[in-house]
Amino acid sequence: MGNASILLVDNRKAIVECIRKSFSEIEVKHTLFSAANENEAWSMLDGSEKITPIPKIIIIDINRTKNKGIQFLTAIRNHTDLKSILVFVITDSKTDKNKVAALNLNIAGYIHMSFESQTLNPFVSVLNDYWNIIEFSSQK
C-alpha cells in the first residue's frame, strides 16, 4: 500500500499513546494522525486542518461520543471524496448500541477489545499485514 496515512479518532490520551506504542512496536510504516473528536477529525478530512493526501484508513471508537460517531461515519459515507476510506471501529465498550448502525455504514470491521499491548499488538499486526496487501486507487 505504500506509506498511507491513518487517522485515529479518540479523546483518551492514554488510548492514543497505547495505539502509537503498538504501531511503533509492530513497526507500522504508515503515518498515524490523531484527532480528539469527530469535529477535529472532520477538519482534518475536509476542513481547515486538511491532511493531504486524505487518510486511507480511520480507526475510531464510536461508542465514546453518543451518536456523534454514527453521524461522523454517515458524513464520511455521504462525501464524494471520503466515502471510500476504510473505517475500523475498535472499542472496549460492551454495548451493541452502535454496532448495527456502524455495520450498515459499510465499516471494514467492528472489533471489541481491551486497549492493552498484549491484545492490541496482535490486532495492529494483522491490520498492518492487511494494509500492506490491499490495493487502493490512486484516485480520490
Residue 7, SS3 per DSSP: strand
What pLDDT, in 10s, does the model give residues 95-118? Answer: 777 888 899 999 998 888 776 666
Domain residues for the domain of 86 are 5-14+21-115
Task: Give a yes or no: residue 40 inside a domain.
Answer: yes
Task: Give a yes or no: residue 136 inside a domain.
Answer: no
CATH number at residue 56: 3.40.50.2300
Which pLDDT does position 117 carry in this prediction?
Answer: 62
Task: Tell me the mean pLDDT in the region 33-39.
Answer: 94
Task: Give a yes or no: residue 140 inside a domain.
Answer: no
Share of residues in the chain with pLDDT > 90 (%) = 39
Q: Is the pLDDT of residue 75 over 90?
A: yes
DSSP string of 93-133, one letter each residue = ----TTHHHHHHTT-SEEEE---SHHHHHHHHHHHHHHHHH
Can you give the pTM of this predicted structure? Answer: 0.87
What pLDDT, in 10s, does the model give residues 49-70? Answer: 999 889 989 999 888 776 788 9
